[in-house]
Amino acid sequence: MASPIDALLVALVVGVTDGDTLTALSEQREQIKIRIAEIDAPESRQPFGAASKRSLSDLCFKVRAEIRPQKTDRYGRTVARVTCRGEDASAHQVRTGMAWVFERYASDRSLFRLQDDAKAAGRGLWSERTPVPPWEWRKAR
C-alpha cells in the first residue's frame, strides 16, 4: 500500500513479526507491513528477541493503532511512528529495554534519553553484560 507520507492512518494490528515490525489492516481491508521508525529490536534468535516481540505484541496486537508513515524501506515496508493504547511504540520499546535507538535513522532525541535511562536501570537487553546491537549481529551473520 502506498501511504502518503505524514498522513495519519488508523489500522488494526493483526500481526507482530518481531520487536520492531508489525502488520496492520487498514479500514479499506489492505494489509500494511510496518517497520517501527527510529528503533532496531533484537533479532528473533538474539537474546531478548522473543521478549521484544512479546513487548510489542502486548502493546499493539489486536489494537487500533495510529500510524504516521515516514517512508518506504528497501523491503517495501512502511516505516512509521506507531501509537497503540495512547503510547508511542518506538518510545515504549526503548524505555523497556526491548530495542536500541537506531542511531543512523533517529531524529527524535528524546529516544536517546529513554535508552540512557533503560541502560542505567538495567532493563531488558541492558541486563546483559555486553548486549550486541542487531545491526552488528546481522553483519556477523
Q: Note every long-range contact of 20-23, with CB atoms under 8 Å and residues 24 or more positions apart, other chains counting.
A: 20/52, 20/56, 20/93, 20/99, 21/77, 22/56, 22/60, 22/61, 22/65, 22/82
Q: Which residues contact 121 (CB under 8 A, 6 or more apart)?
A: 97
Active site residues: 35, 43, 77
